[in-house]
Structure 1
Amino acid sequence: MDKRQVKATVLHKEVGLLSAISFIVGTIIGSGIFISPKAVLLYSGGVGPCLLIWAACGICAIMGALCYAELGTMIPKSGGEYSYLKEAFGSPVAYLYAWTMMMVLKPSSFAIIALSFAEYASAPFYGDCSPPIVVTKCLSVAVTVFIVTINCMSVKVASNVQKIFTAAKLLIIVIIVVAGIVLLAQGKTETLSNAFDSKPTSIGAIGLAFYNGLWAFDGWTQLNFITEELKNPFRNLPLAIIIGIPLVSICYVMVNISYFTALTTNEILWSPAVAVTFGNKVLYPMSWIVPLFVVFSTFGSANGSCFTAGRLSYVCGREGHMVEILSFINLRRFTPSPAIMLDGFLSILYMIPADINSLINYFSFAQWFFYGLTFLALIIMRFTRKELKRPVKVPIIIAVLMVLVSCYLVLAPIIDSPTMVYLYCTLFILGGLLLYYPFVHLKVKWSRRLMRPITMHLQLLLEVVPPEKCE
């Protein structure tokens, strides 16, 4: 009976090395590499700079992930940046990060991926016409509910789904790369021949090119959100990063080269989805496989995003920074189902507006602001927390470089094109302090009395219990 109780009230280590690599690769490779290349080309100003930016984005992701490998093995807690910022800077900074990620970035990112899935899945039924908005939004809501259900059911089921869809998306990457190699062997190098014959572009435009490239790499931090569920995290966390991120980087550069072998720069810039245009031109009459596998790719990315986002809410609830019910675990499924459901609910809310891509663009500076703080936390804890064991220890110059890169990515677009929206985003982030001070710092008693019956009824409805505090 005691064993059953312990098993029911903790998250279990069910994510092995292969699953860890699948979560990294599967979450990173979503719709970005099939859509973002035209934006990177537009802002970079030419083929050569475009390829260099893709390679630089891969290097940034690798260096950033290595820093996160040190942090994840030094502080083996789930929750990603939240746990590290709390350790280095204290509760207020960690809370502002959690507030921004939970309320905006995580659910809106999930919503964009689900909408991309719906657009590609419904497109074949409407020929040359765009699918009606109501169809794509209803389909995106349906797939969000389905993914949330999978993740609430079982960690093992969600992990197996991730493995399957990661294999599918790697298959379409291989098909595109092989097709590009064949075209290169046939001498299709017109677009690549004068790769650097382009006009110089502004610093702000380069920053926007990096934003779009790094959006396609988004997900390199995801494994740190589930550290407590990794089998042998001190080995598998850095190993999965060392295997997964370079694999994605090589794939992305090779895919872009393949695009440039078959398409002109104008064709890429005018294409609504570069991969589909590539498939129509090169893979006909088998071109239908490209949108099909993009559907698989976006589904896998949405699954990985949902899996990790739920862990952030779970850890915040456990630490007392969010409502207690978010830290509860399903009695039979052993999953943080309330936290997962919250992410799914907010994602559906973000699907209602006409355009949420602008929301992501404006809040990207906030994402990189917190990345920069996390890299700074690594540097600071080298001096303030020398007693912590570091199974992985990266050269400190890498962390310094990533702080500088983060500063550039935060400031360059704002300086190049200052708008009031950035101020509004900053005010929203700081607005989290209005909730932090009374409810977390002062722990107002009436709020706990108000939440107690709500928590009790949700606990009975969802069959969840508080996590066991095991040493």
Structure 2
Amino acid sequence: MDEENLRKRKISTEEKNGNLALDKTESEGTKKEPEQMALKKQVGLLSGISLIVGTMIGSGIFISPKAVLSNTGAVGPCLVVWAACGVLSTLGALCYADLGTMITKSGGEYAYLLEAFGPIPAFLYSWMCIFVSKPSSFAIISLSFAEYAAAPFYPGCVPPPLVIKCLAAVAIILITALNSISVKLANYVQNFLTAAKLLIVAVIIVAGIVLIAQGNTRNFENSFDGAKTSFGSISLAFYNGLWSYDGWNQLNYITEELKNPFRNLPLSIIIGIPLVTVCYILVNVAYFTTMTPAELLDSSAVAVTFGDRVLTPASWLVPLFVVLSTFGAANGSCFTAGRLTFATAREGHMVKILSYINVRHLTPSPALIFNGVLAIIYIIPTDINTLINYFSFASWIFYGLTTFSLIVMTFRRKDLKRPVKVPIVLPIVVTVVAIYLVLAPIIDAPDLAYLYCSLFIVGGLIFYVLFIYFHFNWTRKIMKPITKHLQLFLEVVPAENEQ
């Protein structure tokens, strides 16, 4: 019996030693480490530029020219507004590059307001952004995608609203699923669609240059005659122009996923936004080579009208590439909106399940799905231009507050390292312009909708006090089983820095 026990113990020891040797060999040969439950740095310089360009060039350049022209009244000031919007976006993005390399957390404005002013302003921003701005932006772009995608199937008439809404909902579901499955796949799709939209923009620009060379410049003569110069009309023109530029701050939402953010964040901004600005100005110039201001205002789809007049044999290319462009912009919007929701929940300002990541794909899938669900709700029919005005009004309140936070931290937080340091005059200029953009439409043409928008933002304080400041036990009791079942269903866990 003793010999039998000794023999079994010897075999067990040899097996254990063998397993240890095998583990050691695998460790030395492959050096495979367990994957960390956190967001991965998978976004490089090219993907960063593609994300900026791909998000900015979306539906705006195809729907906003009419609104900018109607609020400026003439070709000259219209082009000036487009250029000024590009300059303002670049200045704002440079301020954000300073903030993004100083505070290397995902979440964009939320992370910077939290650092500079504390939890309440940060929460109010996330409240407005998560429940209104981001999903409504996603919805507007998806509706624009659906309109252009459905148009070829309804020649000579407008597609039924139900078809457009259903197609927009399908697009939202596909994009949300894509971003939940893989960051790399979402980036590959974004890069491809960015190349596609730059191609159609290049075609329009080249066609415009050819038409100018042929002498089609009558719309640029006396181009400032009839210009509107009222306090409010200029701000509304900026709202619609800046809607087309919206996305200049998108890279700050994914700072934690950027490779070498100190280099790639400012480089992506310096390359991406001026590229978009030049494209927008030249595209608008191209439009005016074929359409008078009155004709442009009467057009239901400016880019399609341009294609029908100039690219007659291949006019079908324009709506096709507009579809790709809007899909790419919606993809970029979804990608960054999910990161804002993730960062907010991680700080305890949203339900915890939204700060969890998928164990298989390492993506913030609960946050992405939440944003997608809200976007589907927002595809209820409404006036797009009105949505854009109120979206811009709400957004620029916090854009101004964020650039002001850079001024505050320049003096109060001298201990923070600033790899990218912009002159103090830049955040001052952007803050002053933001104050003008917020106040001008209210002073010139007061509207109850601006009051409702402001009340909604301030109303977030009620939610903050009840559910975050006091941490009511009954809310935790309700959310605990819900979180448990959602975890099992979505296969998500807290990020390692939460555990």
Which category of TM-score, normalised to the shorter sequence, fits these structures?
over 0.9
Say whether residues 1:92 and 2:104 are aligned partners: no
Alignment pair present for 1:370 and 2:385 = no
Q: Is the 8 A contact 2:71 2:228 kept in 1?
A: no
In the other structure, the counterpart of 1:227 is: 255
1:403 to 428, 431, 445: 431
Q: Give deviations 1:44-88, integer Å, cap 9, x for gaps.
A: 111111111111000001100000000000000000000000001
Task: Describe the shift of the 1:353–1:177 C-alpha distance in structure 2 as closer, same or farther (beyond 3 A).
Answer: closer
Q: What do residues 234-257 of structure 1 show as CA deviations (whole Å, max 9, x unaligned)?
A: 100000000000000000011111
**Runs ≥4 in structure 1, deviation > 6 angstroms?**
1-5
1:38 matched to 2:69? The reply is no
Residue 285 (structure 1) shift:
1.7
Per the alignment, residue 414 of structure 1 pairs with 442
RMSD of aligned Cα (Å): 1.6
| Contact preservation (8 Å) 1:43, 1:201 | no
* TM-fit CA distance, 1:361: 2.0
Distance 1:5 1:368 in 2: 44
**Whole-angstrom CA distance in 2 between matches of 1:6 and 1:107:** 35
Equivalent position amino acid for 1:133 in 2: P
In structure 2, what is the Cα distance between the partners aligned to 1:440 and 1:146?
33
2:45 alignment partner in structure 1: 17
Kindly state the Cα deviation for residue 122 of structure 1 after the two structures are TM-superposed. Answer: 0.5
Pairs within 5 Å for 1:214-363: 214-355=242-383, 357-363=385-391
Correspondence 1:48 to 2:86: no
SS in 2 for 1:131: coil
1:146-172 Cα shifts (integer Å, max 9, x gaps): 000000000000000000000000000
User: Helix, strand or coil: the match of 1:432?
Assistant: helix
Q: Counterpart of 1:201 in 2: which secondary structure?
A: coil
Q: Which stretch shifts more, 294-303 or 36-45?
A: 36-45
1:205 is aligned to 233
1:201 Cα shift? Answer: 2.6
Q: How far has the Cα of 1:470 moved from its partner? A: 8.7
1:432-447 pair list within 5 angstroms: 432-447=460-475
Deviation at 1:34, TM superposition (A): 1.2
Report the Cα distance in structure 2 between the residues aligned to 1:35 and 1:94, rounded to whole angstroms.
32
Shift of the 46–445 alpha-carbon distance from structure 1 to 2, 3 Å rule, reads same
Distance apart, 1:400 and its partner CA: 0.3
In structure 1, the residue matched to 2:487 is: 459
The answer to which of 453-462 and 436-445 deviates more is: 436-445
Distance apart, 1:469 and its partner CA:
1.3
C-alpha contact 2:45 2:268 (8 A) present in aligned 1: yes
Cα distance in 1 between the residues matched to 2:157 and 2:338: 36
Residue 113 (structure 1) aligns with: 141
Contact 1:8 1:330 in 2 (8 A): no
1:198: how far off? 2.4
> Which secondary structure state, in structure 2, belongs to the residue aligned with residue 387 of structure 1?
coil
Contact 1:350 1:356 in 2 (8 A): no
Tell me the TM-score normalized by structure 2: 0.92
CA apart distance, 1:363: 3.5
The aligned residue for residue 27 of structure 1 is 55
- Judge conservation of contact 1:173–1:251 (CA < 8 Å) in 2: yes
For the residues of structure 1 that align with 2:467 and 2:59, how far apart are their CA atoms?
Answer: 39
Instruction: Answer yes or no: is the 8 Å Cα contact 2:72–2:227 preserved in 1.
Output: no
Q: Structure 2: 5+ residue runs without aligned partners?
A: 1-22
Cα pair 1:108 1:356 within 8 Å, conserved: no
8 A contact 1:363–1:425 mirrored in 2: no
Q: What letter corresponds to residue 244 of structure 2 in structure 1?
A: A
What is the CA–CA distance in structure 2 between the aligned matches of 1:333 and 1:396, rounded to whole Å?
41
Once residues 4 and 452 of structure 1 are traced to their aligned partners in structure 2, the CA distance between those partners, rounded to angstroms, is 35
Residue in structure 1 matching 2:452, options 414, 421, 424: 424
Paired-residue identity, %? 63
Cα offsets for 1:337-363 (capped at 9, x unmatched) = 000000000000111244465334224
State the aligned residue count: 471
List runs of 5+ in structure 1 lacking aligned partners: none
Contact 2:116 2:405 in 1 (8 A): yes
Q: Does structure 2 retain, via aligned residues, the 8 Å contact 1:108–1:360?
A: no
